[in-house]
């Protein structure tokens, strides 16, 4: 699948060089900007990678104005792990943080989303929307029914995130049949709903999480504090079958 708008295009990685460009962007965002570490971080070559990459599809947002020789032309990434890839890898990436039994036992076709990031020059524009539209094409072509994956708040101090975490718990908790639970349980219900400043809470919520919520997404039970990546993670789950027509149009319409 490929989409195009002006100088930006969305496509799946096809070569080793494409994957390196994705890993370079991930290093720029997750390591240089957010202070993440981990066993897969290659500081010498400025790559962020792990053992799951070989089992995944990598959805790329490409800025065709940038020099391909420098690995700097990839300005957005989504890592996609389907059920067959997870079997070959031995598990989903999210398995390390959340008990996915409700999803695995559902009998529905799953797709894990991960390592999503945008270059700073493309935040606040159409980049994320174009990635979502490319993702929508992939989901439709593969017959995916449930999307899931972790998304992150910067920092590991849950108390400092009390308002946004509590808002997610009170307003967006997944129904029982889709409610995955954090393995290293960090409570999200940190304050009563009537004490939350909703405007402030939403302002403190990363754009990616808000995008999932606007598409009808839910959060799992409990957060997970990831000290390697300097983040507090929540698991987002989205039932593509239950999405309204207006939600579906956001990510399935053709670019342009």
Residue 241 has what pLDDT? 80
Residue 4 has what pLDDT? 55
Residues near 256 by Cβ (< 8 Å), separated by ≥ 6? 4, 5
Six token digits for residue 42: 């290659």
CATH of 2-252, one of 3.30.450.80, 3.10.290.10, 3.40.630.30, 1.20.1050.10: 3.40.630.30
Residue 7 has what pLDDT? 81
Q: What is the pTM of this model?
A: 0.88
| Residue boundaries of the structural domains of the chain | 2-252
Element (H, E) at 140: helix 127-142
Q: Is the dihedral of CA 40, 142, 181, 129 positive or negative?
A: positive
Phi, psi of 92 (to 5 degrees): -80, 155
Residue 100 sits at the vertex; the CA angle it makes with 55 and 86, to the nearest 5 degrees, is 15
Render pLDDT for 163-219 as a digit per residue (tens, 0 to 9). Answer: 999 999 999 999 999 999 999 999 999 999 999 999 999 999 998 898 889 888 999
User: Does 62 have pLDDT greater than 70?
Assistant: yes
Cα(51)–Cα(244) distance, integer angstroms: 36
Mean pLDDT taken over the chain? 89
Six token digits for residue 236: 């987002």
Residue 256 has what pLDDT? 39
Please compute the mean of the pLDDT values over residues 13-23 and round it to a whole number.
95
Please compute the mean of the pLDDT values over residues 136-161 and round it to a whole number.
93
Please compute the mean of the pLDDT values over residues 120-132 and round it to a whole number.
81
Please compute the mean of the pLDDT values over residues 22-33 and round it to a whole number.
92
Q: Which percentage of the chain shows pLDDT scores above 70? A: 91
């Amino acid at each position: 699948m490929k989409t195009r708008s002006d100088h930006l295009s969305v496509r799946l990685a096809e070569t080793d060089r494409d994957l390196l460009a994705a890993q370079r962007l991930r290093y720029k965002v997750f390591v240089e900007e957010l202070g993440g570490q981990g066993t897969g971080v290659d500081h010498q070559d400025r790559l962020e990678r792990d053992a799951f990459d070989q089992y995944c599809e990598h959805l790329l947002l490409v800025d065709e104005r940038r020099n391909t020789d420098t690995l700097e032309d990839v300005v957005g990434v989504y890592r996609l792990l389907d059920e067959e890839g997870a079997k070959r890898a031995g598990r989903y990436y999210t398995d390390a943080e959340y008990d996915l039994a409700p999803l695995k036992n559902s009998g529905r076709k799953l797709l894990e989303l991960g390592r999503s990031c945008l270059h700073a020059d493309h935040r606040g524009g159409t980049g994320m929307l174009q990635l979502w539209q490319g993702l929508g094409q992939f989901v439709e072509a593969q017959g995916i029914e449930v999307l899931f994956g972790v998304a992150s708040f910067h920092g590991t101090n849950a108390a400092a995130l009390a308002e946004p975490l509590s808002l997610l718990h009170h307003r967006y908790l997944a129904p029982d049949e889709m409610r995955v639970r954090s393995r290293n349980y960090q409570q999200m219900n940190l304050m009563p709903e009537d004490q939350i400043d909703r405007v402030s809470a939403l302002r403190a919520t990363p754009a990616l999480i808000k995008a999932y919520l606007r598409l009808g997404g839910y959060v799992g039970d409990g957060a997970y504090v990831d000290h390697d990546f300097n983040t507090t993670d929540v698991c987002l789950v989205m039932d593509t079958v239950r999405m309204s027509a207006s939600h579906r149009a956001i990510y399935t319409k053709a670019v342009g």
